[in-house]
């Protein structure tokens, strides 16, 4: 009987959760395994679908994962989050009945799919539902996997101790999770962070941007879903005043950044994800080229003299590899941690959370384009990025899948 793996994705808006899994899933399928995808956002399943039919590619199956009613009010981003317990509580994880219902839903998926191994990326409820029933493997980045077996540390590496409310939130969420487990006759977990781990956990991160680097006892692995083949260009070969902007359409500062880029009078190029074609045409200005498709980082970033982005890990690492200075407008706390890590190299500037307007941003763009010292530091930082062998991380996960399933 073919090996069957259930991959679960419960939380998180970025594509990194899927791009991290895809090389593992494709190799499993190529070896004859069945992979069932339970995704919180099935609209993101495109890489696993046949473009001609819209149906899953051979070897894959697609299910809707249990969803959470995550608040969409932009004001929610102003609520302080100092630990990952604060983050989970913000997205509803402290509601006992909601958690219990989703535990039941994940159990139903496990009963129907009957996987040999479960693999989750930011899927704590799946981890809890599968606990003691199916071997569990967790993959993820540093941010979503705080160290297990201990209280959660601060997310901000520059913060020494947690606020009392963060400690109270962690106790509240741990109590909710254990109430759900006890109702099923399962043993409680000792720490909330344990819900974010499996029987085996793989953390793919770079120490520079891992918020828990100083608390980890186990080494992390270099991310294998990072951009590759990016080489810096000499400054003389880069586009004069060339700026590349890459930001999400939903970012509250995207329009502000585009206005500033157009006002700066530079050679601007931009790609804004999830933006309707009409909005792309509307935002195009003299001197600002709006792209309708994602751009090849290996082409646009080394040719630019400044990259403006929101602090996504892949984007930040790509700009580092290109040796290109960065102006970062963080969207959330994870992005801020990444931005601060990159800023420490001297190659980036992080926009303030408050008081930023188009005029200030326009001046920042012009000033950074003329900052020769930052350009030198960006070139030096490029030499420090070591992503290792991407196949090593994939091979490690595959070997553990087979070991847990008893197939090799």
What pLDDT band is residue 94 in, cutting at 50, 70 and 90? confident
8 CB neighbour count, 10 Å cutoff: 32
* Gap between the Cα atoms of 59 and 33, Å rounded: 7
What pLDDT band is residue 315 in, cutting at 50, 70 and 90? very high
Nearest to 37 by CA among 51, 52, 56: 56
C-beta of residue 155 within 8 angstroms of C-beta of residue 333: yes
185-244 confidence digits (pLDDT tens): 999 999 999 999 999 999 998 888 899 999 999 888 888 878 888 999 999 999 999 999
Of the given ranges (69-78, 174-183, 369-378), which has the lowest mean pLDDT? 69-78
- What average pLDDT does the chain have? 92
DSSP 74: G
* Gap between the Cα atoms of 285 and 289, Å rounded: 7
Q: Which domains does the chain have, with CATH numbers?
A: 4-225+389-405 (3.40.50.2000), 235-382 (3.40.50.2000)
C-beta of residue 186 within 8 angstroms of C-beta of residue 178: no
pLDDT of residue 390: 82
C-beta of residue 83 within 8 angstroms of C-beta of residue 169: yes
pLDDT of residue 301: 97
pLDDT of residue 72: 67
43-59 confidence digits (pLDDT tens): 999 999 999 999 999 99
Q: What is the mean pLDDT of residues 31-46?
A: 95
Q: What is the mean pLDDT of residues 297-308?
A: 96
pLDDT of residue 297 exceeding 70? yes
pLDDT of residue 408: 74
121-155 confidence digits (pLDDT tens): 999 999 999 999 999 999 999 999 999 999 999 99
* Gap between the Cα atoms of 1 and 153, Å rounded: 43
107-118 confidence digits (pLDDT tens): 999 999 999 999
350-397 confidence digits (pLDDT tens): 999 888 898 999 999 999 999 999 999 999 999 988 888 888 999 999
Q: How far is CA 159 from the centre of its chain?
A: 22
What pLDDT band is residue 75 in, cutting at 50, 70 and 90? low
pLDDT of residue 38: 98
């Amino acid at each position: 009987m073919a090996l069957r793996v259930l991959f679960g994705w419960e939380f998180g808006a970025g594509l990194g959760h899927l791009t991290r899994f895809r090389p593992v899933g494709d190799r499993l399928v190529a070896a004859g395994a069945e992979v069932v995808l339970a995704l919180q956002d099935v609209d993101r399943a495109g890489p696993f679908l046949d473009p001609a039919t819209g149906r899953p590619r051979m070897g894959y199956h697609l299910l809707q994962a249990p969803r959470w009613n995550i608040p969409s009010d932009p004001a929610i981003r102003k609520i302080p989050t100092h630990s990952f317990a604060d983050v989970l509580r913000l997205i509803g994880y402290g509601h006992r009945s909601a958690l219990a219902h989703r535990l039941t839903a994940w159990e139903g998926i496990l009963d129907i799919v009957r996987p040999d191994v479960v693999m989750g990326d930011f899927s704590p409820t799946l981890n809890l539902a599968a606990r003691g029933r199916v071997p569990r493997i967790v993959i993820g980045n540093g941010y979503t996997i705080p160290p297990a077996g201990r209280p959660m540390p601060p997310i901000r590496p520059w913060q020494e101790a947690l606020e009392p409310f963060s400690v109270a939130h962690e106790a509240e969420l741990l109590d909710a999770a254990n109430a759900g487990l006890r109702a099923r006759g399962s043993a409680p977990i000792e720490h909330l962070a344990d819900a974010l781990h499996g029987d085996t956990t793989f953390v793919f991160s770079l120490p520079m941007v891992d918020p828990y680097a100083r608390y980890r006892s186990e080494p992390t692995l270099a991310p294998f879903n990072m951009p590759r083949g990016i080489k810096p260009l000499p400054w003389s070969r880069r586009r004069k005043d060339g700026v590349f902007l890459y930001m999400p359409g939903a970012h509250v500062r995207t329009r502000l950044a585009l206005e500033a880029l157009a006002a700066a009078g530079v050679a601007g190029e931009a790609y804004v994800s999830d933006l309707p074609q009409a909005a792309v045409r509307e935002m195009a200005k003299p001197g600002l080229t709006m792209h309708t498709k994602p751009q090849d980082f290996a082409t646009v970033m080394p040719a630019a003299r400044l990259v403006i982005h929101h602090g996504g890990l892949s984007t930040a690492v790509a700009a580092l590899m290109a040796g290109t200075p960065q102006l970062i407008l963080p969207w959330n706390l994870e992005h801020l941690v990444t931005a601060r890590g990159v800023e420490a190299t001297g190659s980036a500037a992080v926009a303030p959370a408050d008081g930023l307007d188009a005029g200030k941003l326009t001046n920042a763009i012009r000033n950074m384009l003329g900052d020769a010292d930052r350009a030198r530091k960006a070139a030096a930082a490029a030499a420090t990025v070591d992503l290792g062998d991407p196949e090593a991380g994939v091979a490690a996960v595959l070997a553990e899948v087979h070991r847990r399933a008893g197939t090799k």
